[in-house]
Copies of this chain bind each other. A is one copy, B any other.
Amino acid sequence: MKRNPELTVRPLTGLPMFATGMSIAQAICASLAGEDDRLRDGDILVVAQKIVSKVEGRTRDLAAFVAAEKAHELAHATGRDPEMMQAILEESSQVLRRTPAAVIAAHRTGHVLANAGIDASNVEGGEAGRVLLWPLDPDASARVLRGELQKKCEVRIGVVIADSMGRAWRIGTLGHAIGCAGLTVLEDRRGRAQDLYGRTLQATVIGVADSVAAMAALAMGEGAEGTPAALVRGCERWVTEEDGPGAVSGLRPIEQDMFR
């Protein structure tokens, strides 16, 4: 009758509409208290990029971007708005692909995604040209949130900031880890673990943080659910004492990247 431990993912209820300067840590603790729960050692808290950007004041009016020549060129090539193209260019280090359907860019941090992460859905004033940019440094944001929560609740937890991203070759978005603190981003089992026949694993590096982000994003939803955070339990083996190298450590170095 021995059952394996379960992984559980629970979207948190009762979180407010976030705006510049609000405390995510405080809101999370209040939400958990309202559910008669609290953070425990080994928990991983996943929060949506959108609320981190909101509290960090990353809302912008598109009209405030002054399209330079490159932006006009991109707007011409894609049939899209020059100010939006300017915003993408300012947020990114490289445009990988540009079509009328999508502009795929490397965000300054190195993460590759559509529109360099700029998005208007679930943003107040989005219909009038307000957009939200990514946090300036999502790994730093994760470290700060972890520090606040660990202090407030006297626990050791992992924190992931997740954003929904498209992928090469496959349709549909998945949550991806764009900021991490206190968990193993990649579990490198090469040369360290065996298979069922005692042979050493040759090629296995597990994308732990992205897997956690994918399951949490599925639970949080993409529309009007109002659940921008999820609590993941059963992953204590990946929670670390140190903050660690962050989500950027999960990015393929450009010189090893075959798909640019």
Contact = CB atoms under 8 A, between A and B. Distances in A.
Interface of A: 1-13, 17, 34-37, 96-97, 99, 101-102, 104, 111-112, 114, 121-124, 126-127, 164, 167-176, 185-187, 189, 193-199, 201-208, 210-212, 214-215, 217-219, 222-224, 226-227, 234-235, 250-252, 256-259
Contact of A250 (B170, B187, B208, B234): B170
Contact of A224 (B170, B193, B227, B252): B193
A122 B196 contact: yes
Contacts of A234: 9
Contacts of A171: 186, 205, 207, 250-252
Contact of A1 (B34, B111, B170): B34
Q: How often does this chain occur in the complex, in copies?
A: 2
A253 to B, nearest CB: 9
A227 B4 CA distance: 9
A169 B215 contact: no
A12 B4 contact: yes
A99 to B, nearest CB: 7
A198 B105 CA distance: 28
A208 B202 contact: no
A216 B187 CA distance: 16
A37 B6 CA distance: 14
A169 B206 CA distance: 15
